Amino acid sequence: MKQIYFLIVVLAGGVLSSCGRGGGDRGEVVGVPARSFRAEVPYGMVYIPGGSFLMGQTDQDVTFAQIAQTKQVTIPPFFMDQTETTNSQYKMFVNWVRDSIAISKYINDNKYYIQPQGGAAKSGNGKKYINWDYVKKNPIWNTKKGQANNSQKLQGMYYQGDDRVFDRDEVDVRVLKYNYSLYTLRDAANYHNDKSKKRSDFIFRDTVPVYPDTLVWLSDFSYAANEPMVEAYFSHPAFRNYPVVGVTWRQARAYTVWRTRYNDAYKNKRHLPLRAPYSLPTEAEFEYAARGGRIGTDYPWGGPYIKNAKGCLLANFKPGRGNYTDDGGAYTVSVRSYFPNDYGLYNMAGNVAEWTLSAFDESASTFVHDQAPTFNYEAKATDPEVLKRKVVRGGSWKDIGYFLQNSTRSYEYQDTAKSYIGFRCVTHYLGRDIKDKR
């Protein structure tokens, strides 16, 4: 009888230990099976190692603003775009939005949609999904490859009536809007004990016009003949590798959301682990990256001077009393102009100032944490203007040298577009250090 009882125990133990990984774990907790992960440096980005630095003014506060008090802070590792976002890169976003609207609203053709098994161009939830592989091979705006029937369908995308010039078909940029959703994780953390809140209460939804405001080249300057920049800067291939300008903070953030989803679609199709979402850098990340690992320097290239030993200017800004061309360009220049800093980042000072994720508050350094500090605020349309300020860093082609310093803080309103403000993206490294073995 005792022998039978022992046999039952052994069999039961065998059943229990066979759960999980098919019996291969020998009854040990070894973790769920997962594909091995190997860190990759995203295209066009550089790795910024984590570290601590003294954030804030390293030189005299010549404006006596007292808004950049020094503070020792720590920044986790992340990836950052080598250059400012170019016209060409941003145009890829604009074209994606344009084609999505054209296909979903004006072209009723199932060939442009993914065809699941069964032939219906719909997913299980009834929504259609565009087949971008087909679109790339059969552009909807190309009438030379059997797409001539699309030209009539797309008339609703063009300016109509008196808005037309010489009766040309030109896309009405006012219809180019991008819808997206984001989790407001800070709000979720603040209210996570509030049982009356639902998940939907922490989802932020926005609709953003994506086309840059090209008229900023005139509206930013009184009595300046900048019409050629209005007409050509974003549209002409001569400027394809120049930094995109005329984008608001909201447009810049919408671009980061689209870029995340664009990469996620590729990774999901191949069952690969996803990256951390793209975003704008916090102002602490921007200053840390701009310093390039150097301690106590005024500019990204190090040292207290904007000229090198040969007398050459090291950035695109407003030297002297307005000698704009002395640095090599009257306006913006190519995003790979001048030498990169020690992290391999171009134009962290000059060319265009850059949006950051952080909201602007004069006293932010006194209350933000010293670990990955930032002050964020999701401003509503009804909020006063003072709550819609976002930190701008780096200085631009029309600024004097003071604004090029690593520590100089400035701001602009989130719905404002300027001819001297652009942006670049970051995505956070998932782990301790890229050199670690996985």
- Start-to-end CA span in the chain (Å): 52
Answer whether residue 93 shows pLDDT above 90.
yes
Distance CA(204)–CA(184), nearest Å, equals 6
Residues 119-155 have pLDDT tens digits of 445 555 667 889 998 888 888 887 665 555 677 888 8
- In which element (H, E) is residue 227 found? helix 227-232
Distance CA(355)–CA(67), nearest Å, equals 18
What is the token pair recorded at 136? 């790339």
To which residue do tokens 């005139």 refer? 218
Residues 172-218 have pLDDT tens digits of 999 999 999 999 998 899 888 888 899 999 999 999 999 999 999 99
Residue 45, CB-side half-sphere exposure with 13 Å CA sphere = 20
Q: Which residues contact 149 (CB under 8 A, 6 or more apart)?
A: none
Residue 432: per-residue pLDDT: 92
Answer whether residue 106 shows pLDDT above 70.
yes
pLDDT confidence band for 384 (50 / 70 / 90): very high
Residues 255-294 have pLDDT tens digits of 999 999 999 999 999 999 999 999 999 999 999 999 999 9
Is the whole model's pTM more than 0.75, yes or no?
A: yes
According to DSSP, the residues that pair with 48 across neighbouring strands are: 78
Distance CA(233)–CA(329), nearest Å, equals 14
Helix axes 249-269, 87-101, angle to 10 degrees: 70
Residues 327-366 have pLDDT tens digits of 999 999 999 999 999 999 999 999 999 999 999 999 898 9
Cα dihedral 437/260/111/210 (nearest 10): -160
To which residue do tokens 């005792």 refer? 2
Answer whether residue 61 shows pLDDT above 90.
no
Distance CA(84)–CA(257), nearest Å, equals 17
Q: Which residues contact 427 (CB under 8 A, 6 or more apart)?
A: 42, 45, 78, 79, 275, 276, 277, 278, 279
Residue 121: per-residue pLDDT: 54
Q: Which residues contact 85 (CB under 8 A, 6 or more apart)?
A: 243, 244, 252, 255, 422, 423, 424, 425
